[in-house]
Structure 1
Amino acid sequence: MNKRKRIAIVVGTRPEAIKLAPVAHELSRTRWAQPVLVTTGQHGPVVHETLACFGLRAQVELTLPPGPHSVSDLTAGLLSGLGKGLSSPATHAVVVQGDTSSALAGAMAGFFSSIPVVHVEAGLRSGDLRSPFPEEAHRRMIAEVCDLHLAPTHAARRNLLAERVRADRILVTGNTVIDAVVSASRRAPVGDDPVPRRAARDGAPLVLVTAHRRENWGEPIRRIGRAVAILSHQYPEVTFVVAAHMNPLVRTALEESLPGRPNVQLPGPIPYDAFARLLARSILAITDSGGIQEEAAAFGLPVLVTRDNTERTEGIDSGIARLVGTDESEIVAAAEKEFAREGAPWGTGAANLPFVRRNPYGDGRAARRCAAACGWLLGLTPRPPDMPDIPMDLPKE
């Protein structure tokens, strides 16, 4: 008789696949857990492709009706599907990550079924319920129904304590994306790895650009694109890789604001291992992504955050990230400052200059702590210790 506990891991989006893949691997190494990956269909085939980068595949696959979905329709559909997906066979715990509609629906489905809910990356807060929208509301609602809060940093733990979450239900684990991105960046390319090779342009320094947040749709994303266009003219020796989101509204806005330039690349979705290698050799990231703010820190990579606020305050406090909003002149000025720090014009090998900033997001052992915490919640293993607080004592500019 199989005595392993069935742990449902809810994965709806590419970032969730990235951040939960190390947790699935660590749970599979235990004697007591049977991890079951449940994909919701929120981001479609790219989730399965991303899981495959880590040698994983879904055991339960849900589907969504084709076509665009409002936030309310998406959440309702996910909740209905997950409610059925968790009911049989018996599930002993539900693991959700972050703040997506899939995470919220997974937490609610677990709560409604009286299944313990574990929240990976708990406690992030921007302080503005409508920014990012709807993620800030999602993460606060998840906190109300979950049984174990796995905070990525001590700052996130303090946020939860301020909301009167019980201290004995919070564990500081570090962020699992550090585990994921370092592992992926070290993986040798299998076959053709076209994007990093094409973007390298004979050793040219790289700048990675992404834009996708809902509150930036439309004119803000066009301003980001125009800022990149200006920079590409000013710095023809730099390659700008604009990893356009799969959403056609986002991609169209970027393409319209970025006229053809020989040093601007607009690839489609990039496999995660290739993306991690690209990030590891970049000199700057310009992004509104929360995950990239964390991933970049694994390589000491400075980040210009094209948002008005961020729940990843540790990056701002450590000096590795800077809030610049979406005003094109602000983005250009901030990028010029980073390029000056790099010593433009660059000589050979400059793209590999090491940064000495600390990584405030973890030590690469977050997934191990997450798996051990699940065992503790179910009464099977001792409670693991919190990740040590990482000092952020390097001088800011």
Structure 2
Amino acid sequence: MSRHNRDVILRVLRAEGPLPRSELVERIGASPATVNRLTTSLLERGLIVSVGTATTGRGRPSMVVRFNEQAAYVAAVDIGSQVTRSALVDLTGGVTALVEEPVPDGAGPRQRLDQVRDVALGLLASARARRRAVIAVGVGVPGVVTPDGVVDWAPVLGWRQVGLARVLRTACDLPVVAENDANALAIAEHRHGAARGTAAMVALNLGNGIGAGVIAGGALYRGHTAAAGEIGYMLLGTSSLRQTYAGFGDIESRVGAEGIARRSRELGLADEVAGPLTAASVFEMARRGHPVATGLVDEICDELALALANVAAVLDPGAVVLGGGIGGSADLLIPRLEERLSGRIPHVPRLLGPSHGHGVLVGVAELAIDAVGSLDGALAEAGSLPAQD
């Protein structure tokens, strides 16, 4: 019972911020003496911190305590098509020790898996150098991931039925959560971003592929085969029925980063940029008023608006966050999308830019913390002072 109550205290403080001990008495339904004993134990172990006193009611001033977000880390990895990002994420979403490691030229499925394993092990070494414990590993994947951490398929990585969580558990000897990257982004935006607390929201991860993380009823919705939100496979019209899509889907083959770059080259825009022609460079040209780039961006917004209209009609989200690499141009896209959606669906959701530069990392860390169960037990097992029974 003591461990359960300590865990309740930790989770309440983590979610809500500093609170007086007297308020914790009401939250966990224990006596003041019990709360004082439990918080004293957590203070001694460095899991919470005293931040002063507060006067509540007629009693004496009560100590105010807050969760120590740096008591431990989650090792978080975001697997991209060209870059693998990793960081140590503290227990309230703060990112440190960020590393971006390019994918080696010609790396195949096995090499990508080895790189992810080595990156995770590097994070553990970084945490040891900081004299901090790691309680879990979280990994964001650009593909469909089953609840037990098997990557069902990820076209950009060439993965099918890859037991990612099992590989990393063996290598790191820690609990591991593997999750679709758009789902992780949705968790980060729902818990820490501009869509915080919105019961129904969608986060789009706009990169080479296009995925949507769906929050319904305040919880992540994965669907029957964990493939909910794969909106890149939405069809743009009846002509799409005469084609098959083995890798990227219909919409993402056109408005994903590679699709935009291909269409730009076909329009002759490659001759007008100094470096490689990318989706970001096309959006920047449109910002400067380049007529061909502006026309292409308008076409992209037409196609994205079709997808968003269908998403809104089915899910009725209160907010849609435009994240991922293309989400860096949300300021250019949002007004155009709002114009196209207005008057065409019953309710136009709030369209928002991303709140986090590293939302996938924050989201997988959140999911990993959820998965460990008892924070008190996980922190004790990971190397904090021994928890009391």
Q: For the superposition of Structure 1 and Structure 2, which TM-score range results when normalised by the shorter chain?
A: 0.3 to 0.5
| TM-score (normalizing by structure 2) | 0.34
Structure number with greater Rg is: 2
| TM-score (normalizing by structure 1) | 0.33
Q: Which has the higher strand share?
A: 2
